[in-house]
Amino acid sequence: MKHKQFRIGKLVLPYVMILPAVALLAVFTFYPLFNMVYLSFFKYDMLTPKKFVGWDNYYQLFFVNIDFIAALKNTVFYTLGVIVFMISLALIFALWLQRSTWVNAIVQRFMFLPHICAMLTVAMVFQWLMDDRGLFNAVLSVFNLPALRWLNSSHTALLSILIVAIWKGVGYYALILLSSVKSIPPELLEAADLDDAGKLRTFFKITLPMLSPQLFFLLITITINSFKVFDAVRIMTGGGPGNSSDVLVFYIYRQAFNYSKYGLSAAAGTILLLILLVMTVIYFRILGKRVHYQ
Amino acid sequence: MGEIVFKNICKSFGETKVIEDLNLTIRDGEFTVLVGASGCGKTTLLRMIAGIGPATSGELYIDGEEISDVPPGKRGIAMVFQNYAIYPTMTVKGNIEFGLKNRKIPKAERETLIAEVAETVGLTPYLKRKPSELSGGQRQRVALARAMVKKPKVFLLDEPLSNLDAKLRVSMRTELIELHHRLKTTFVYVTHDQTEAMSMADTIVLMDRGKIQQMASPMEIYNDPNNVFTAQFIGTPPMNIQKMKDGKHQLGYRAEKVQLSETKPDLLYARKAVVLTREMLGSETIYKLQLEEADDGSGKTAVMAKTPNLMFEVDSRVYIGVDRKDLYYFDEEGRRLRGDGISPSLEKMTAEGGES
């Protein structure tokens, strides 16, 4: 009898152990998630009772309120930009910093600093730097280049935010890549040297495949983080000028907290969720096979 | 072809001089083993030949051509690394093919070469696999195949067997010897294991602290060592070395030449001893014996004996004896004395031992 009790205890114990974590996840992640999808089919302003409207919110998003499409386009553009520049810059920095010299050690620490600063402060500092009479334009004028209007022009507003995001993130991502660049056994590169592989070929055939798990990880996290960009936009441009730097999360935020259109906001959130899900699945399907795990 | 000549080679890592003014000729087509304790500079020499760790100064020739400025990939050499260094992201075939592709060898030719070499090392069924799906021995073969497919003038092997288990190591040893017989190219093999060196080499280059101690065939290096270091490095157990009565000269004899007896033997070298330990290996027995008094009067000293005779118990009193022809004499610096160098007074000292 005692034996059996022990066995039941053994079966139950693991679930008891994960219960606190699951409970927190259920309350703060799963419930809001399902509630969001649920709400997206209602008209709801938190004051009057919610009213079922079916797909109307989605119809609104795609066919009536065209600023949603604009926000979506901007977000996609921003994400692509961040992925391309962030990953290539992080890779370049990682390769540059791989030799352990004291200069590199210092550079590495400085590069990591932006990561530990709050986006709020970073955004405010850049707002000041990117002012019409700010440091950026001062530098441009030194080289006799025309001043840019940075955040005040619909052509450069989103680009400016992209620059801030890359400046803030590149040190962190470079550090992740650096640790894996350093873990490539030097004999592999020597063997490639003996196999008469040129520098470029060694990079593309040995180094890059060896980094593929980290690059893949970067790709997914950067995609997700970029799709969720909010604070820099909120502070620096407020989505403007016009809606030239409006992004998905900021759109969701406005619909909910400025206009009290919680149903519409939930529908936009659901779209964001679907996009991220689909993107991640695509990544794993298409690229997952080419990733080499040790 | 593949004769390698080192001329006045020096190498330092920062402040530390690893190799100073080294001259060495590795003969074409031979299986040369560089052997020595870790840190003696043997791998440094190998990496110099490969071009992945250039000399600080000096000249290096392959077939009479100075190659210090030739990049590693153009030297006509192939190397097998200690940890194999096979590309983990490529298949077995990809690994073997990589060097050929870099040389822009046409596909049809590549296919034949790969098939040929895979057959030789027994990798044909595994060509599509990734290295992570292979055993240690198979990875070793991939590394070998990758080297062989390039048909190099010189094979460089850096302790290639040290990551294999004991049994596999012995069988790979024979395979490497056969491979050398078949290819008849120059093999330069680095190891710290003197047994490996003895069993595989045509020529052994024994190194210590960046200097060549002796370069000779296994038989010669065993029977006719140039110095104390060589005498003690080659052979298991190492040669017994005893300081002589004058405190300067040293006397050496191999454990396997020691004769044990209960009565005092009629040999030039004869001493009283006590059996400390006895290790029975089957065909022979290794005794550790203690002499009451070393010849130079420094107290108790231990010697090893290796003999088929297994009847001596631990703690029993025995006589050890060594024939005159099996004695080696060395001077103060550990250099071997030969022929006329062995004076009658030395032999007299040997006979007298510690007695005055």
Show me where the domains of chain A are located. 66-290
Question: How many alpha carbons lie under 13 Å from residue B356 in its C-beta half-sphere?
Answer: 6
Q: Are residues B218 and B241 in the same domain?
A: no
Q: Which domain holds residue B59?
A: 4-223
Taking an 8 Å cut-off on Cβ atoms, the answer to whether B88 and A212 are in contact is no
CA–CA distance, B128 with B93 (Å, rounded to integer): 6
Closest Cα partner for B215 from B234, B193, B196, B199? B234
CA–CA distance, A112 with B324 (Å, rounded to integer): 75
Which of helix, strand or coil describes residue A234?
helix
CB burial of residue A180 (10 Å; 0-12, 13-18, 19+): middle
Which of helix, strand or coil describes residue B160?
coil
Q: Are residues B91 and B159 in the same domain?
A: yes
Q: Are residues B208 and B253 in the same domain?
A: no
Higher pLDDT, A293 or B199: B199
Q: Which residues of A touch B132 (CB under 8 A)?
A: 294
CA distance A186 to chain B (A): 9
**Model pLDDT for residues A95-106, shown as the tens digit of each residue:** 988 888 889 889
Question: Residue B113 is encoded by which pair of tokens?
Answer: 């070469």
Helix H, strand E, coil C: the string for A97-135 is CCCCCHHHHHHHHHHHHHHHCCHHHHHHHHHHHCCCCCH
Please indicate if any CB of chain B lies within 8 Å of the CB of A188: yes
CA–CA distance, B155 with B152 (Å, rounded to integer): 7
* Chain CA centroid to CA A270, Å: 17
Q: Are residues B248 and B216 in the same domain?
A: no
φ/ψ (deg, to 5) at A241 = -65, 145
Nearest CA in chain A to B73: A196
CA–CA distance, A57 with A63 (Å, rounded to integer): 10
Closest Cα partner for B237 from B257, B251, B220? B257
Q: Are residues B347 and B217 in the same domain?
A: no
CA–CA distance, A106 with A101 (Å, rounded to integer): 9
Q: Is residue B152 situated within a structural domain?
A: yes
Domain count, chain B: 2
Taking an 8 Å cut-off on Cβ atoms, the answer to whether A201 and B51 are in contact is no
Nearest CA in chain B to A199: B102
Residue A188 has its nearest CB partner, among B73, B79, B85, at B85
Q: Can you point out the beta strands (E) in chain B? A: 4-13, 16-26, 31-35, 57-62, 65-66, 77-80, 154-158, 186-191, 203-208, 211-216, 240-243, 250-253, 259-261, 269-280, 285-291, 301-307, 317-322, 328-330, 336-337
Q: Are residues B18 and B91 in the same domain?
A: yes
Per the document, the length of chain B is 356
* CB B324 within 8 Å of CB B251: no
Residue A194 has its nearest CB partner, among B79, B87, B90, at B79
Nearest CA in chain B to A186: B85
Residue type at A198?
A: G
Q: Are residues B291 and B188 in the same domain?
A: no
Predicted local confidence at residue A2, as pLDDT: 55
Mean pLDDT for back-to-back runs of 10 residues, chain B (356 residues): 86 87 90 90 90 88 88 89 90 91 90 90 89 88 90 90 85 89 92 91 92 92 92 90 86 92 87 90 90 81 89 89 90 87 83 64
Count of other CB atoms within 10 angstroms of residue A165: 24
**Model pLDDT for residues A44-86, shown as the tens digit of each residue:** 887 888 888 888 888 888 888 778 888 889 999 999 999 999 9
CA distance A187 to chain B (A): 6
Which strand ranges, in their side-by-side order, compose the sheet holding B328-330? B240-243, B250-253, B328-330, B336-337
* CB A62 within 8 Å of CB A69: yes
Predicted local confidence at residue A55, as pLDDT: 86
Taking an 8 Å cut-off on Cβ atoms, the answer to whether A190 and B74 are in contact is no
Is residue A4's pLDDT more than 70? no
Q: Are residues B169 and B247 in the same domain?
A: no
Predicted local confidence at residue B354, as pLDDT: 57
Is residue A147's pLDDT more than 80? no
Helix axes A102-116, A157-182, angle to 10 degrees: 130
Which architecture does CATH list for A66-290? Answer: Orthogonal Bundle (1.10)
Which ipTM score applies to this complex? 0.81
Closest Cα partner for A250 from A4, A75, A22? A75
Q: If you average pLDDT over residues A178-191, what whole number do you get?
A: 90
Q: Is residue B75 situated within a structural domain?
A: yes
Is residue A3's pLDDT more than 70? no
Q: Which of B223, B256, B272 is the last residue of a domain?
A: B223
* Chain CA centroid to CA A142, Å: 34
- The CA–CA distances, whole Å, from A202 to A284, B52, B353 equal 26, 15, 66
Q: Which residues of B touch A184 (CB under 8 A)?
A: none
B interface test, pick of A183, A187, A195, A200 with most B CB neighbours within 10 Å? A195
CA distance A210 to chain B (A): 7
Q: Which of B223, B244, B273 is the last residue of a domain?
A: B223
Please identify among residues 191-210 of chain A the ones whose CB lies closer than 8 Å to any CB of chain B: 191-198, 201, 205-206, 209-210
The CATH number for B328's domain is: 2.40.50.100
Residue type at A277?
A: L
Q: Which helix (H) or strand (E) holds B196?
A: helix B194-200
Predicted local confidence at residue B356, as pLDDT: 44
CA distance A108 to chain B (A): 25
CA–CA distance, B235 with B238 (Å, rounded to integer): 5
Q: Are residues B70 and B165 in the same domain?
A: yes
Closest Cα partner for B350 from B259, B244, B260, B263? B244
**Model pLDDT for residues A208-220, shown as the tens digit of each residue:** 999 988 898 899 8
Q: Is A193 left (phi over 0), alpha (psi -120 to 50) or beta?
A: alpha
Q: Are residues B176 and B69 in the same domain?
A: yes
Closest Cα partner for A173 from A277, A59, A86? A86
Question: Residue B175 is encoded by which pair of tokens?
Answer: 């395979």
The CATH number for B143's domain is: 3.40.50.300
Q: Are residues B150 and B187 in the same domain?
A: yes
- For residue A203, name the pLDDT band (cuts at 50, 70, 90): very high
Q: Is residue B229 situated within a structural domain?
A: no
Question: Residue B173 is encoded by which pair of tokens?
Answer: 């040893």
Task: Output A189-193 pairs: Cβ under 8 A, ≥24 positions apart.
Answer: A190/B50, A190/B52, A190/B72, A190/B79, A190/B81, A190/B85, A191/B79, A191/B81, A191/B85, A191/B86, A191/B87, A191/B146, A192/B87, A192/B98, A193/B51, A193/B52, A193/B71, A193/B72, A193/B73
Please indicate if any CB of chain B lies within 8 Å of the CB of A10: no
Taking an 8 Å cut-off on Cβ atoms, the answer to whether A197 and B77 are in contact is no
Q: Is residue B81 situated within a structural domain?
A: yes
CA distance A291 to chain B (A): 9
CA–CA distance, B91 with B126 (Å, rounded to integer): 9
Question: Residue A51 is encoded by which pair of tokens?
Answer: 């009213």
Q: Are residues B103 and B190 in the same domain?
A: yes
The partner residues of B16 in beta bridges, in order of sequence, read B13
Q: Which of B223, B256, B283 is the last residue of a domain?
A: B223
The reply to whether omega before B308 is within 30° of 0 (cis) is no
Predicted local confidence at residue B121, as pLDDT: 85
Q: Is residue B179 situated within a structural domain?
A: yes
CA distance B269 to chain A (A): 52
Is residue A290's pLDDT more than 80? no
B interface test, pick of A180, A188, A196, A204 with most B CB neighbours within 10 Å? A196
**Model pLDDT for residues A246-283, shown as the tens digit of each residue:** 888 998 898 888 888 888 889 989 999 999 999 889 88
